[in-house]
Structure 1
Amino acid sequence: MDPYVLLDVRTDATQAEIKAAYHRALLAAHPDKNITSTIDIAALKEAYRVLSSPELLKNAKTGPRPAQIVSLSDFTELPAGDVWEHPCRCGANYCISASDMDAGRHLVPCASCSEVVWVGYEIVEE
């Protein structure tokens, strides 16, 4: 997940704003403060680590790097239609929908692990 979204800060936030947002998010996610919280504290810590490091921050701004390029023809169309899936090496699947393709999205994350693939396809004009 995008560390800026996770900590709810702007991309031009100062280090002081990032630190304050991190502490707010930790308090909101703390089990003693919010029993029903579904926020992963480890993910918050990782987001803060990334946003507080100039080198990691540079990589966060460039987005995920795909593990491999996979052709849409290697995906399996699901019976419901308009959704295709491809197995990840972790055992879960990558899924891409017709609306993703209409929007020009090529980077597809695994449903379970942190792997991302670049899906190759062409949009056919009718």
Structure 2
Amino acid sequence: MNLHRIIVVGALAGLLAACQSATYSPRPVAVQPQGIDGQWTDPNGIISSFYNGRFETRTTDTNSLLAEGSYRYVSDQIVEIELTSLLRQTTSRVNCALASQSQLNCTSSTGAQFTLVRRV
């Protein structure tokens, strides 16, 4: 009986040790971006970047800076961008609505409308 008890206790100890040493490695989960932080493109391939309240637009071919400025959330879905065009030396305001996590619908202060799509 003692031998049986020793075998059972040993087996249980082995199972317990195996359970404790097993590591749980969850499958990677794609993190959904929050807000507008990140890079976006327009239909012409111009890249707009939004990070921590700073905004800039660059060309895709030479990475030349076209415009820079700042942005702020008016609401959860509306963002106001103040930008300075380095080409025209003008300052303007653009309002964008976050239509989805991958699409921004924007209207400039002159009424021009355009869409930006999140880069993957």
Same fold (TM over 0.5): no
Bigger Rg, structure 1 or 2: 2
TM-score normalized by structure 1? 0.28
TM-score normalised by L of structure 2: 0.29
Structure having the larger proportion of residues in strand? 2
Instruction: Considering fraction of residues, name the structure with more helix.
Output: 1
